[in-house]
Structure formats: structure tokens, C-alpha cells
Amino acid sequence: MSDKKKVLITGGAGFIGSALSGHLQELGHEVFVLDDLSFGRRELAGVDDAHFLKVDIRDRNTTQQAIARVDPQWVLHLAAIHFIPYCNQHPVEAADININGTINVLDACVDAEQVFVASTAAVYPIADGAVREDHPTGPLDIYGITKLATERLASEFHLRAGVPTIVGRFFNAFGPNETNPHLIPEVQQQVLSGKRTLQLGNLDPKRDFIHTEDMSRAMALLLGKGLTGFEVFNIGRGIEYSVREIVDAFERQLGEPLTIEVDPARVRKVERMHLLADVSKLKRVTGWEPKWGIDEGVATLLKEERHK
């Protein structure tokens, strides 16, 4: 059997999906991208028109026909609404895409060799230390609730179809081509617009930030292991940073001081103070190690944006 696979990425024109598309193509796989471009951008998909399918995963018939035409060996399902404030403001849309869309995608994957389903660290409850995959779940928001449902659907799909299925719980991604105003791109945008007094929300929460290139390597390694059952993996870096520490990283790269003003409109009503991955299972199974730190990532982001 060839090591090179025919791969379909849903949401492959988005932030994480576009990095994954590029990485899998570098490894020699034939990559198809399925995306409705409601949040993603066509140029980020990194594939020609013959390998791009503009499909809304809520459309069951079109989704199933598109996936059947590709007949992929690997499917990586990343398509979702994942910006928490947007999900909280549009719960019906979030549930429709994240849950019903997942049903439509999975039902079209019964002939795949392996399926990867993107989930989130938001399925965990509030916890002080690093969380392992066997930690009890307890989402705090609409996004986490929809993604916990996605995990249950993935498990049911594996039991029903017998297809090896991996769930990856993504922690806080950062890197180029972000399509939502999360913390790092928000600081980046304000800094590059010339601001040195930043308008931000709560400064105390700590998050586990992982570069999209490290995430892409983790996903490729997991699929390449040929796992045969249903498995859940944390995909984070295993180090947490506060908002202040992220701003400090920008200061180091700029060589200039930055001040912060708390904007009450940016403060979330429900906020967890810590979110840290225990990635020992991922490392043990794949040998994966992260390559990108915050300083290297911030330096690259600033350099790339300045040269656009």
C-alpha cells in the first residue's frame, strides 16, 4: 500500500485547515479541500480548482455527493464555527454547522480508511492543572457543547461504520492566516496599525498556545500511525501563557513597550482562568514534539505581515 493518500480536508480554506493542507501536500499526499468560504478564503486552500469543492456541509446531499466523487482515503473534518463569542451569539447556526454538518460529513465517510474529527479543549470544565484526555468533560459555552456532541457523533460513527476515527482536542492555535479575531491576531492587528496602547479583555486567563504548523504535524503523524480504533488526543503545546505574557512577547519582538487598557466590551461573562493540555499521550503514540515557541511565532507573524 502506498504511503501517499488521497486526503479530503473539510474547512481546508480556514486558519488551521490551510496550514494542514500545505503540510500534507509537502508530504506528498493528494489533497482536496471542501469549504463553503463563509469564514475561510479561497486562496488559503492551497489547491487548484480541480481539488477544491465549494460546499456547505449543512447541505446533506451536496456534501455526500462531493465526498463520494473524491472517494478519499483520509478525511480530516475541521469545518466548524469556532469563534466562541460568535457561537454564543448565534447558537442555532453553531449547532447546525458543528453538529448537523458533522453528521452529514461522517455519513459520507463510511468507505474511508481513517477519519480525523477536530474537537476542542472547550469540552473540558474549569481545571487548575494540565488536563488529560480522560479528564471528565464539562463545556462552559455553546461552542464546547456543540463540539462535545461532535465527539459523541465521531464515536458512534466508529462503532457503526468500523472506520478508525481520531478526535483531536485543539487548544489555542496561533500562526499565519488567522480568520477570527482571537487574542494573538488581535494584538498583532493593533500593533501593526501603530497602536502602543492595546484594547484587550481580561488579562488574567492563561491558555496553551500551539502553532498551526505543530498542529498539522501532529495530525499527520496520528493518521500515519494507522490506529485502528477510536482515540482522543489533546493537541496543544503543554505550556500556558497569560494575556500579559503574550503582550510581553510582542514587546520583545518590537523592542518597544506596550500598555494595556481593559475594554469592558471585550471581557467575557464566563471565563476560565487556566486551560492547559497534557500532551503525554500524543508524544507517546507519535513521538511528536512542538517546534514553535511564542517568541518565534510572534516574530514570524510580524515579519510576514510587514512584507505583505
Q: Where are the domains of the chain?
A: 6-174+208-239+277-286, 183-206+240-273+294-306
pLDDT of residue 187: 94
pLDDT of residue 306: 65
pLDDT of residue 1: 40
Residues of the chain with pLDDT under 50: 1
6-174+208-239+277-286 and 183-206+240-273+294-306: identical CATH topology:
no
pLDDT of residue 268: 77
pLDDT of residue 222: 98
pLDDT of residue 181: 75
pTM: 0.94
* Overall fold of domain 183-206+240-273+294-306: UDP-galactose 4-epimerase; domain 1 (3.90.25)
Q: What is the 3-state secondary structure (H, E, C) of the chain?
A: CCCCCEEEEECCCCHHHHHHHHHHHHCCCEEEEECCCCCCCHHHCCCCHHHEECCCCCCHHHHHHHHHHHCCCEEEECCCCCCHHHHHHCHHHHHHHHHHHHHHHHHCCCCCCEEEEEEEHHHCCCCCCCECCCCCCCCCCHHHHHHHHHHHHHHHHHHHHCCCEEEEEECEEECCCCCCCCHHHHHHHHHHCCCCEEEECCCCCEEEEEEHHHHHHHHHHHHHCCCCCEEEEEECCCCEEEHHHHHHHHHHHHCCCCEEEECHHHCCCCCCCEECECCHHHHHHHCCCCCCCHHHHHHHHHHHHHCC
Question: Which CATH number does 6-174+208-239+277-286 carry?
Answer: 3.40.50.720
pLDDT of residue 303: 85
pLDDT of residue 204: 87
